[in-house]
Amino acid sequence: MPTIRRPARAATAILLGAALTTLFACAVNPATGRRQLAFIGEGQEIAMGRDADGQIVASLGLHPDSALQRYVRDLGLRLAAVSERPDLPWTFRVLDDPTVNAFALPGGFVYITRGILAHFTSEAQLVGVLGHEIGHVTARHSVNQMSQQTLAQVALGVGMVLSEDIRSVGGYAMAGLQLLSLSFSRGDETQADELGVRYMRRTNHDPRELAGVMRMLDRASRLQTGSGRVPEWLSTHPDPANRVEHIQALIAESGEDFSGATVGHASFVRRLDGLTFGADPREGYFEGPVFHHPELRFRVAFPEGWATVNTRTAVQAVAEAEDAMMVLSLGEGTPGAGLDAFLAQEGITAGRRDTDAVNGLEAASAPFTAETDGGRLAGRVLFVRQGGTTYRLLGVASETRWSGHRGAVEASLGSFRTESDPAVLGARPDRLALVDLGFALTLDAFMERFPSVVPPDVVSIINQVGASGILRGESLVKRVVSGR
């Protein structure tokens, strides 16, 4: 564990900050050749990314198509080889996640979701996004942000994290999934676009396709925002509409003729045939406040009006006022043993235990209070066994707010039951299907002739149909068909 040393005075902190700035300010950004602040060495950078990679894979899961994984990995390694940091342990993964997103972690860990893959129409578009994310790594954007934040903490006398061999951020709070909360500045995004275009030129992929990606992301963002959801892309990237002109200017400035560069429309789109589109109900899904899990054969109703989210490792619900939450996760052993272990934790005081069955299922539950650094909490925990697996359902709030939520939480705990609805048990994900279009069609005519289970706007976006609304002849066109 790193040793935490707190300076006695603010002046000491300022002097330490100045000394550290002098020590590390001479680091040269490998992608730009510019000097920049860097408290984090390459070894630390790689270790942070590797640690977070395991958490991301556990939380979101990998897309099971091994051929698609190899294809993305090989393209990524080809780009990384022509970058300024070819010797990083580059890792490229396709996440089994329906959101339209791509991101990178320090040390060379790059992720593409199946959701964004479904929206690309060429290999060059995929290469452009991979190149953009590689650019964030080669320019050390995440590391630079964390270094700036660390310096600010030192200068303000908040304290600094050191160890004997100056592992300055070995236990830094941005490790793990919190790295994903870093949103890059407009300057970082512009630089990553420039580097993405640079790498596309080096691998002879048409960089004009990256501008098409930005148009698609702009349309997808506006469509999702209109539905009341914040697109995942916008959580880590600024508005894509503002970046098209810059990319086009970069291409014009190069003076190169890209008419012979690789686009790869048909060969790429064929790889998407049968790709899961949208959320996979086999991994669990919400129908209003009710969470169904066809594979594990259970259902549970969360409180009405609470915001809900489903990941590979847990299902969570948060009250509208954000003053209470519930978490459904896997437990261990029998319900009684799971409850004993939970209540034995330091700082927890248990109420009366209840071992009554819940809807015919073996169960054990108890109310509790807990002392935390943030204050005193109150809640109830239930361990219940279904299909040979023990699950833990936890409801908690601050002690002063618990009475207002207790009824809704306890009703939710009591709703856990075995799933028996054939429609739920037989749920299958929607998938992409391809149409080899031999002639031009309007989007409306295409939808009438080749129906999809998603609205026309979505079909338009995943095929990147232009303002004319015409689908070109002699092209592969994507539609979405029901998995049921």
DSSP per-residue letters across 318-369: E-TTSSEEEEEEE--S-HHHHHHHHHTSTTEEE---B---BTTB-EEEEEEE
Please list the ranges in the chain whose pLDDT falls under 50.
1-26, 37, 147-182, 226-235
**Pairwise CA distance, residues 471 & 434, whole Å:** 13
Give CATH 3.40.1000.10 domain extents, the chain: 281-425
pLDDT tens for each residue of 238-272: 566 678 888 999 999 988 999 999 999 999 999 99
Q: Could you tell me the CA-to-CA distances from 214 to 51, 301, 331 in Å, in that order?
A: 31, 39, 43
Cα distances (angstroms) measured from residue 359 to each of 381, 423, 427? 16, 21, 23
Q: What's the pLDDT score for residue 222?
A: 77
Pairing status of strand 109-113 against strand 91-95: parallel
Q: Collapsing DSSP states into helix, strand and coil, what is residue 19?
A: helix
Contact 88, 143 (CB under 8 A): no
> What CATH class is the domain 281-425?
alpha beta
CB atoms inside a 10 Å sphere around CB 32: 15
Residue range 187-225, pLDDT digits in tens: 788 899 999 999 999 999 999 999 999 999 888 887 765
Measure the CA–CA gap between 197 and 200, rounded to whole angstroms: 5
pTM of the model: 0.77
DSSP state, 154?
H
Q: How far apart are CA 402 and CA 413, in angstroms?
A: 15
Q: Tokens 């160890």 identify what position?
A: 163
Backbone angles phi, psi at 269, to 5 degrees: -60, -35
- For residue 150, CA distances in Å to 8, 348, 359 come to 18, 34, 52
CA atoms within 13 A on the CB side of 139: 24
